[in-house]
């Protein structure tokens, strides 16, 4: 074959190959500890192993992109794998793993606009902890830590927090979308305060699937958690799917001073409650199956309307008076459909069917 044809064939193969090897731009980091004090792009050239109680990489500048390039930062008794100091802003950290540190990634309260993408945080005290503002954590994994992810004023999307000895994800004043928290020691989503929690999965956590305060908890799938599927205070708990733990004594949803609406709840234990309420809770249009008590009303001034309860020992049980109920269907239940303080103290608005 002529040399010209061979050369053209090589060029064709080069540009049509399906394997692409990216070369990271910017400054290479190949030793630790390392401080990034000027803006720019930085990348690892290999794994970093650090064995003293200091931060491994410190970012003290604005406008920094740090690409771990698929490598690992490993601490042996170290502080933060990556420490973002105040008042740094516009920081992106991506594509790698951090293990064996106090904090895998940590930012202080004066920082802002921190983006974490495709990070694996394992075997740290806390995987990722952002105290800064306007953060985004996406497509990252926190597993085998004491606590998984802690974030404030953040968006958390498509992350996994699993097998952490304490909780999976904790967030405040945040948007929490399409994350999974499973097999954590206590709560899957813990102390989610003043946040929007939508489309997440919380499975087989030791205590509560989702614990929220002053939040919207909507369209989540929650199954087989230890004590409560969802526990919400001053929250709106809407359109979730909750399945109880087989053989356990647990509650699907607890709410106080809020709304519990449109949820589907199926319990599987011997002594279970579909929904429990405290004071001033509006419970409406929920579907409850296979519980000891469908809805257990505690506290005062709650309204229980248009719910469907099937195959429970007791449909709706009123622990206290001064509550209201109407248009509920309690069918196929055992001992009683409406029990407790009924009809002495609870006000029957009519339309209840048993």
Does the residue 213 lie in any domain?
A: yes
Does the residue 21 lie in any domain?
A: no
pLDDT mean over 41-61: 96
- % residues pLDDT > 70 (the chain): 88
pLDDT tens digit string along 11-47? 333 333 332 324 467 999 999 999 999 999 999 999 9
Which letter does DSSP use for residue 192 in this model? E
Taking CA atoms, 47 is separated from 88, 89, 102, 284, in Å, by 25, 26, 18, 54
Residue from 256, 327, 262 nearest 298 by CA? 256
Does the residue 256 lie in any domain?
A: yes
Residue from 247, 184, 246 nearest 210 by CA? 184
Does the residue 112 lie in any domain?
A: yes
Which letter does DSSP use for residue 112 in this model? E
pLDDT at 322 over 90: no
Q: Are 119 and 94 in contact (CB under 8 A)?
A: yes
pLDDT tens digit string along 266-305? 988 767 899 999 999 999 999 999 888 899 999 899 999 9
Does the residue 110 lie in any domain?
A: yes
Does the residue 5 lie in any domain?
A: no
pLDDT tens digit string along 140-165? 999 999 999 999 999 999 999 999 99
For residue 79, the enclosing domain spans: 28-348
CB atoms within 10 A of CB 71: 17
Which letter does DSSP use for residue 244 in this model? P
User: What's the distance, CA 91 to chain centroid?
Assistant: 23
Angle (CA) 276-289-218 rounded to 5° is 60
Computed over every residue of the chain, the mean pLDDT equals 89
Residue 186: what are its φ and ψ, rounded to 5°?
A: -115, -100
Taking CA atoms, 303 is separated from 113, 251, 299, in Å, by 43, 19, 11
Integer Cα distance of 83 and 10 in angstroms: 46
- Give the CATH number for residue 33: 2.160.20.10
Does the residue 13 lie in any domain?
A: no
Structural domains of the chain, count = 1
Integer Cα distance of 322 and 299 in angstroms: 8
Does the residue 18 lie in any domain?
A: no
């Amino acid at each position: 074959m002529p040399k010209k044809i061979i050369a053209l064939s090589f060029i064709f193969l080069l540009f049509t190959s399906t394997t692409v090897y990216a070369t990271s731009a910017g400054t290479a980091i190949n030793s630790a500890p390392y401080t990034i004090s000027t803006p720019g792009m930085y990348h690892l050239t290999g794994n970093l192993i650090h064995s003293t109680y200091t931060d491994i990489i410190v970012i003290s500048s604005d406008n920094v992109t740090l690409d771990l390039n698929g490598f690992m930062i490993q601490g042996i008794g170290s502080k933060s794998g990556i420490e973002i100091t105040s008042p740094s802003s516009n920081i992106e950290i991506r594509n790698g793993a951090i293990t064996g540190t106090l904090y895998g990634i940590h930012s202080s309260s004066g920082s802002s606009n921190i983006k974490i993408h495709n990070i694996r945080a394992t075997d740290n005290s806390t995987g990722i902890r952002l105290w800064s503002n306007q953060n985004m954590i996406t497509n990252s994994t926190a597993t085998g830590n004491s606590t998984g992810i802690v974030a404030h004023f953040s968006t958390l999307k498509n992350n996994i927090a699993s097998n952490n000895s304490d909780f999976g994800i904790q967030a405040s004043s945040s948007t929490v979308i399409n994350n999974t928290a499973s097999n954590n020691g206590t709560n899957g989503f813990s102390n989610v305060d003043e946040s929007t929690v939508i489309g997440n999965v919380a499975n087989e956590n030791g205590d509560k699937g989702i614990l929220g305060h002053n939040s919207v908890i909507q369209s989540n799938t929650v199954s087989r958690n230890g004590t409560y599927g969802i526990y919400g205070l001053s929250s709106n708990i809407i359109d979730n799917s909750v399945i109880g733990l087989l053989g356990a004594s647990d509650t699907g949803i607890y709410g106080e001073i809020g709304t519990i609406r449109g949820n589907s709840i199926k319990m599987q234990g011997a002594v279970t409650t579909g929904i429990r309420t405290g004071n001033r809770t509006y419970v409406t249009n929920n579907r409850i199956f296979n519980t000891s008590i469908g809805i257990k009303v505690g506290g005062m001034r709650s309204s229980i309307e248009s719910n469907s309860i099937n195959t429970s020992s007791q449909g709706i049980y009123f622990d206290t008076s001064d509550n209201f109920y109407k248009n509920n269907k309690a069918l196929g239940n055992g001992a009683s459909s409406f029990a407790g303080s009924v009809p002495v103290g609870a006000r029957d608005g009519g339309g209840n069917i048993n």
